[in-house]
Amino acid sequence: MLTAKQQDVIDEAFGKCRGLVHTNYTETSEKESATLSVESDYKPFAHQVVTTDFLVAHKKAFCFNEQGTGKTASALWASDILIRRGTVGRVLVICPLSIMDSAWREDIKTFTPHRTVGIAYGTAKVRSKILNSMTDFVIINYDGMKIVEDDIRANKFDLIIVDEATHYKNAQTVRWKTLNRIMTDDTWLWMLTGTPAAQSPVDAFGLAKLVNPTNVPRSTSVFKDQTMRRVTNFKWVPRDYANKIVHKALQPAIRFTKEECLDLPPMVYVKREAELTRQQKKYYAELKTEMIVQAGSEEITAINAAVSINKLLQISAGAVYTDTKVALEFDIKNRYNVLREVIDESDKKVIVFVPYKHVIQVLSQKLRADGINSAVISGDVSSTDRTDIFKRFQTTPNPRVLVIQPRTAAHGVTLTAANTIVWWSPTSSLEIYAQANARIHRAGQDHKCTIVKLQGSDVEKRYWTLLDTKTDIHTAMIDLYKEMID
């Protein structure tokens, strides 16, 4: 956990600036800016237009707009302008697996629906086919780059967009070296992240080395000596002037916080894909087969439909309960990695709602093992202990993450120290869903809020659709059952 002084250094470098960090740019023409919404029904926010203008004006640049401000749309509109001009041909988007489809492909369909898109994921042969398909946009995950590096070179992508760019902070990694080899002097590169140098000023080195290498020395060790000082053999702290060095290194850049985007809605809802592991997929498929047999041999009632569907949700979440109430654990590494991405992207506290008690135990153990200060609120926690945990969460730096069973904190509790909620798995109750989200969006909240919904199975996706449309899930249970077995 960072000290107060370390956090102050980072905040001063990145969190206190208004709008443009780097102001030496020329705006796109009024005609081009006006075309941003022509091809879709979406009207850009004012800060998105400014961000779009900035990116169009810079061949290599950073966008540090906070999570939930719509920087993906700005990057797409800027790309579209450059394609229209003939400045760039094809665009390669590099991002986490969890947002390849739910964020980037969906946003391309929403904000630039006239453009074609392919997702390069799967075997090397499948990735190669997508890269050679000549779509306007190709989306690929970080570590997939190395698998098809030669194909990427051969297809010559004029613009590369890196989302959650902090994954490239270390210049010694394979993914960093792969990207560095692929780029040429003519390649456009935009690196997007809401949390630059979130853990240490040294994190800025790898990013700067890709965008503007003349802004930093040749080696990480020299940059570390410039920005950090050794306190003991094992402890380094930022120098008093580290913020100035980091600020200079990470240029040209633009940043809008959610609070500065006055036209943003107070709550932003996003979905992130959390692919089921092989083990989960196996048992999920077996259970669906049992459901098909059951449907063919007896009349399905709302009660037995609910039982079967709840087991599908349990497998997706990571632990299924047997008839004797024994919890069988599943490998949840994919979903946990997505959760960690969200926590790392957030510069404030995070609440994780988990409907299943056993999964809460597993998850809290993983967070502690990773050094993330967290606390648990479930039916097993006494009211006295809950009060103490809530108070510490609201008034002290720790815990940073609360893992909560929704029904134990869906009403009456104020948790405005967080501005991000992650739903590990959907709840079947519309009331609990709405009330739980309201824990952070209430009087005393000084920040705009983000609700992240994880999904990895068809039943979870359908649940989120029902909740989003305010459909009572219990009354739709039999129809939902039929959808699952079809």
Residue 322 included in any domain: no
Euclidean distance between CA atoms 226 and 213, whole angstroms: 16
In the predicted model, is pLDDT for residue 141 greater than 50?
A: yes
DSSP conformation letters of 362-393: HHHHHHHHTT--EEEESTTS-HHHHHHHHHHH
Residue that wins the pLDDT comparison between 211 and 232: 211
Residue 288 included in any domain: no
257 & 360 share domain: no
116 & 195 share domain: yes
The pLDDT score that the predictor gives to residue 44 is 85
The pLDDT score that the predictor gives to residue 28 is 46
Euclidean distance between CA atoms 446 and 460, whole angstroms: 31
Three-state DSSP class for residue 49: helix
253 & 354 share domain: no
Residue 443 included in any domain: yes
First-last CA distance in the chain: 48
The pLDDT score that the predictor gives to residue 5 is 42
Lowest mean pLDDT among 38-52, 202-216, 443-457: 38-52
Residue 317 included in any domain: no
In the predicted model, is pLDDT for residue 460 greater than 70?
A: yes
Residue 485 included in any domain: no
Interhelix angle 220-227/204-211, nearest 10 degrees: 120
Which structure tokens are listed for 353?
């709602």
Give the residue-averaged pLDDT of 240-245: 92
Residue 27 included in any domain: yes
Give the residue-averaged pLDDT of 404-412: 81
In the predicted model, is pLDDT for residue 430 greater than 50?
A: yes
The pLDDT score that the predictor gives to residue 6 is 37
**Percent of the chain scored above 70 by pLDDT?**
89
pLDDT-derived band at 21 (thresholds 50, 70, 90) equals very low
The CATH number of whichever domain residue 235 belongs to comes to 3.40.50.10810
Number of residues written out for the chain: 486
337 & 445 share domain: yes
The pLDDT score that the predictor gives to residue 41 is 65
Q: pLDDT tens digits, residue range 168-210?
A: 999 999 999 999 999 999 999 999 998 887 778 999 999 999 9
Instruction: Please list, in sequence order, all residues whose beta carbon lies within 8 angstroms of the beta carbon of residue 265, skipping any fewer than 6 positions away.
Output: 448
95 & 224 share domain: yes
Residue 289 included in any domain: no
In the predicted model, is pLDDT for residue 369 greater than 80?
A: yes
Euclidean distance between CA atoms 74 and 447, whole angstroms: 22
Question: What does pTM read for this prediction?
Answer: 0.71
The pLDDT score that the predictor gives to residue 11 is 42
121 & 253 share domain: yes
18 & 163 share domain: yes
24 & 149 share domain: yes
The residue assigned the tokens 């399905």 is: 300
Q: pLDDT tens digits, residue range 331-352?
A: 999 999 999 999 988 878 999 9
pLDDT-derived band at 93 (thresholds 50, 70, 90) equals very high
In the predicted model, is pLDDT for residue 398 greater than 80?
A: yes
The CATH number of whichever domain residue 433 belongs to comes to 3.40.50.300
In the predicted model, is pLDDT for residue 298 greater than 80?
A: no
Q: pLDDT tens digits, residue range 69-92?
A: 889 999 999 999 999 999 999 999
pLDDT-derived band at 128 (thresholds 50, 70, 90) equals very high
254 & 342 share domain: no
Sign of CA dihedral 216, 219, 222, 226: positive
Last residue of a domain, one of 263, 289, 310: 263
The pLDDT score that the predictor gives to residue 310 is 92
Half-sphere exposure for 61 (CA within 13 Å, toward CB): 24
The residue assigned the tokens 């459909």 is: 471
228 & 347 share domain: no
Euclidean distance between CA atoms 472 and 306, whole angstroms: 13
Instruction: Please list, in sequence order, all residues whose beta carbon lies within 8 angstroms of the beta carbon of residue 12, skipping any fewer than 6 positions away.
Output: 243
In the predicted model, is pLDDT for residue 263 greater than 90?
A: no
Q: Indicate the helix (H) or strand (E) that contains 267.
A: strand 267-273
pLDDT-derived band at 40 (thresholds 50, 70, 90) equals low
Euclidean distance between CA atoms 141 and 179, whole angstroms: 12
Residue 470 included in any domain: no
Which structure tokens are listed for 104?
């980037």
The pLDDT score that the predictor gives to residue 196 is 85
Contact (CB, 8 A) for 81 and 111 = no
**What is the DSSP code (8-state) at residue 299?**
P
Instruction: Please list, in sequence order, all residues whose beta carbon lies within 8 angstroms of the beta carbon of residue 456, skipping any fewer than 6 positions away.
Output: 273, 274, 275, 276, 280, 316, 334, 335
In the predicted model, is pLDDT for residue 31 greater than 50?
A: no
Give the residue-averaged pLDDT of 89-109: 91
Which structure tokens are listed for 403?
């893992």
User: How many C-beta atoms surround the C-beta of residue 146 within 10 A?
Assistant: 14
The pLDDT score that the predictor gives to residue 227 is 94
- Provide the H-helix boundaries in 187-332: 204-211, 220-227, 242-249, 278-297, 302-317
Euclidean distance between CA atoms 1 and 483, whole angstroms: 46
Which structure tokens are listed for 427?
């709840």
Give the residue-averaged pLDDT of 25-33: 45
259 & 336 share domain: no
Provide the β-strand partners of residue 450: 268, 420
pLDDT-derived band at 262 (thresholds 50, 70, 90) equals low
The pLDDT score that the predictor gives to residue 2 is 37
The pLDDT score that the predictor gives to residue 9 is 37
User: Before 113, cis peptide (omega within 30)?
Assistant: no
236 & 364 share domain: no
Contact (CB, 8 A) for 343 and 421 = no
The pLDDT score that the predictor gives to residue 264 is 64
Last residue of a domain, one of 263, 293, 308: 263
Lowest mean pLDDT among 52-61, 244-253, 319-328, 475-484: 319-328
Phi/psi of residue 301, nearest 5 degrees: -100, 165
Which residues constitute the domain of residue 442?
268-275+331-457
Give the residue-averaged pLDDT of 41-47: 80
Contact (CB, 8 A) for 347 and 10 = no
Q: Indicate the helix (H) or strand (E) that contains 271.
A: strand 267-273
Average pLDDT, the chain: 86
Interhelix angle 71-85/46-57, nearest 10 degrees: 50
Euclidean distance between CA atoms 67 and 196, whole angstroms: 12
Contact (CB, 8 A) for 386 and 377 = yes
Total number of domains in the chain: 2
